[in-house]
Amino acid sequence: MQQVISLLQSGAFGKCFLNEPLAPHTTWKIGGPADILLIPRTREQLIDAVKLMHAHQLPWTILGRGSNVLIADKGIRGVVIKLGPALETLRFEGETVYAGAAYSFIKLSVMAGKEGLTGLEFAGGIPGTVGGAIYMNAGAHGSDVSRILLRAEVLLSTGELVTMQKDDFEYTYRHSRLHHQPGIIIEAVFGLKTGDRKEIAEAMASYKERRLRTQPLQLACAGSVFRNPPDQFAARLIEEAGLKGFRIGGAEVSPLHANFIVNTGQATAHDVLALIEHVQQCVMAAYGVKLVTEVLVVGER
């Protein structure tokens, strides 16, 4: 282990931090330390780092902008790889869009709209990166990643680079093959359509206005906590169970949007997990519906 740490600290694989608190790297502002936080400066450094960890059987976890994730209070063992500027790339070739994994998904939707391309309007309110959106099959407003993704370049845990076509991801609701086959998105290719710039801008403005009005974006949160059950809305079930404003420690079911749990200032991962369990129990007791979390819980509890 010490040999690997020395290699990582050499700078050959990017910036390296030991025992780095991860709360500042997440939108929930919650989470213990990473044994090692690595931020590769180049694509080649990322590939080399994964090969090194594979050779030494060192566990790793990928982190983008830290949305849609709850990091446990004891942190994450092994190496946390944070995707940096090296993968914040974007280019347009007609109706085809090439986006690096670290590129903001919201910014991507804005840039596509400015190019007069339609198909990404739904992404205007989804925080996080392109890579995270592909991993989760992120979606909103009746659309999702699976409808626009053509293919993606993926770095496997062995350090091998492969191209995965959309069908290879085996997409279902908020789920992809990468949930059980670890890999790092390097670049995604999306297929959009030429549209009317004014109509695209109006749709995105409408979505933004609704988001600002209905979501607690002024507080630290991670987006929707629970997946919507079939033919139902998690937020409605939680609200009807009388849980808006319910609090455990520093974690609170948002009074504005019941499917958001906000950090009121000093919330711990333990608080959030306890609140998630309470919400699940209440909704099951009231409606017989099992709520499944959409956020990813990682690290040592």
Active site residues: 174, 224, 294
Nearest Cα neighbor of 103 from 76, 132, 124, 80 is: 132
- Residue 103 and residue 121: Cα distance in Å, rounded? 16
Which amino acid, one-letter code, is at 255? Answer: P
Nearest Cα neighbor of 289 from 279, 300, 298 is: 279
- Residue 297 and residue 33: Cα distance in Å, rounded? 14
Cα three-residue angle 299-45-56, rounded to 5 degrees? 55
Query: Measured between alpha carbons, how far apart are the two ends of the chain, in Å?
Result: 22
Distances (CA, A) of 37 to 46, 201, 223, 297: 13, 38, 24, 18
